[in-house]
Amino acid sequence: MLATILLLEYIEMSVGGSHILLVHIPLGVALFATVVATLPMVMKAAPVAAEPALTEEPAFGEEVAS
């Protein structure tokens, strides 16, 4: 999928540089829509790690009663 988008981006730049707007504009819109459609796959939330167990260690500056 990424290789296809990269190839189409190269074609998009070449066609745009040649001022062939009949191809450049629809291809640009299609590429934008494709990239937006793939965002949910890329931006998937990472699983949250379990919280470490709380220990009975004193806080910084707190005195320990013996």
DSSP 43: T
So what's the pLDDT on residue 20?
A: 94
Of residues 10, 53, 5, 51, the one with CA closest to residue 30: 5
Mean pLDDT of 32-57: 77
Q: Given a cut of 80, is residue 30 above it in pLDDT? A: yes
pLDDT for 43 beyond 70: yes
Rounded to an integer, the average pLDDT of 17-37 is 94
For the record, the structure tokens of 33 come out as 């829509």
Average confidence (pLDDT) over 34-61: 75
Q: Read off the pTM.
A: 0.60
Q: Alpha carbon 8 to chain centroid distance?
A: 19
Overall residue count recorded for the chain in this entry: 66
Rounded to whole angstroms, how far apart are CA atoms 10 and 47?
Answer: 35
- pLDDT band of residue 53 (cuts 50, 70, 90) is low
